[in-house]
């Protein structure tokens, strides 16, 4: 089941520069997309989300872009800070009644170098 | 900031034994979930729970698995007869709305030997 794919297992970025994490999806029924950050021995932490009716959502240093025609979304972090080093998961959900099930990508390990 | 609390943080059990993983979701949340992550793999959906019943479950969530919200505050995942392949990190999560980002707990590392 590869409905959500993060093709880069790792990314290394210089402190202060922009980090761009990418995610592709195949299920056109997905209508809500989220990014989570995960440190070792902790649960995923919600970062930012975007509804399929938008193409951009910004929250401080984090911006998510959605290209529905390409079934692609990206997370931009600028400027990158050492504390941003973590594994980042892209997740997607489709409208269902009741609770919302998330489908996760494999994750991208981001390392910010001082 | 409100947290989702999971206990224990690490559980070791023998194959064939029953385990109960416990979670205390955020108190005013209405939607509850269990996910798991086998080492080196992606986070996988197990089950969602709303209005005192299962909303959806994955293929992984077979007859060996069950969930309960016994007292209005706890949310438990029971595995009746554990198998080696059940070894994973199990994450509980809750959300206050359908479109809200989840809050995950720190996870329970289950090791089946």
pLDDT digit string, tens, across residues B16-69:
999 999 999 998 898 999 999 998 888 999 999 988 899 889 999 999 999 999
Q: Which residue of A has its CA nearest to B104?
A: A43
Q: Tell if the CB–CB gap between B98 and A42 is shorter than 8 Å.
A: no
Q: How far apart are CA A53 and CA B99, in angstroms?
A: 13
Is B29:B105 a contact under the CB 8 Å cutoff?
Answer: no
Residues of chain A short of pLDDT 50, as ranges, are none
A107 touches chain B (CB under 8 A): yes
Quickly state the pLDDT bin for B99 (edges 50, 70, 90).
Answer: low
Q: Tell if the CB–CB gap between B55 and A45 is shorter than 8 Å.
A: no
Q: Tell if the CB–CB gap between A46 and B102 is shorter than 8 Å.
A: yes
What pLDDT does residue A98 have? Answer: 62
**Using one digit for the tens of pLDDT, what is the confidence trace for B10-28?**
999 999 999 999 999 998 8
A67 touches chain B (CB under 8 A): no
Q: How far apart are CA A58 and CA A65, in angstroms?
A: 9
Residues 17..56 of B with a Cβ closer than 8 Å to A: which? 31-33, 35, 41-45, 48-51, 55-56
Whose CA is closest to A46, among A108, A89, A15? A89
What pLDDT does residue A108 have? Answer: 97
On average, the pLDDT of chain B sits at 92
Residues 9..48 of A with a Cβ closer than 8 Å to B: which? 32, 34, 36, 41-47
């Amino acid at each position: 089941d590869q409905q959500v794919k993060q093709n880069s297992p790792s990314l290394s970025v210089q402190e202060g520069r922009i980090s761009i994490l990418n995610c592709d999806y195949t299920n056109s029924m997905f209508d809500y997309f989220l990014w989570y950050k995960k440190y070792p021995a902790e649960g995923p932490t919600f970062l930012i989300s975007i509804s399929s009716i938008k193409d951009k959502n910004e929250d401080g240093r984090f911006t998510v872009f959605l290209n529905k025609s390409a079934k692609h979304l990206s997370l931009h972090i600028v400027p990158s800070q050492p504390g941003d080093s973590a594994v980042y998961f892209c997740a997607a959900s489709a409208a269902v009644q009741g609770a919302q099930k998330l489908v996760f990508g494999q994750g991208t390990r981001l390392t910010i170098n001082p | 900031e409100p947290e989702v609390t999971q206990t224990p943080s690490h559980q070791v059990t023998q194959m064939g034994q029953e385990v109960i993983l416990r979670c205390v979701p955020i108190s005013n949340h209405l939607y509850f979930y269990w996910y798991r992550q086998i080492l080196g793999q992606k986070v996988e959906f197990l089950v969602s729970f709303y209005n005192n019943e299962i909303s959806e479950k994955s293929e992984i969530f077979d007859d060996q698995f069950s969930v309960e919200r016994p007292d209005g505050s706890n949310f438990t995942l029971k595995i009746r007869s554990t198998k080696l392949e059940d070894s994973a990190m199990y994450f509980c999560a809750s959300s206050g709305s359908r479109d809200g980002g989840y809050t995950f707990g720190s996870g329970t590392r289950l090791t089946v030997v």
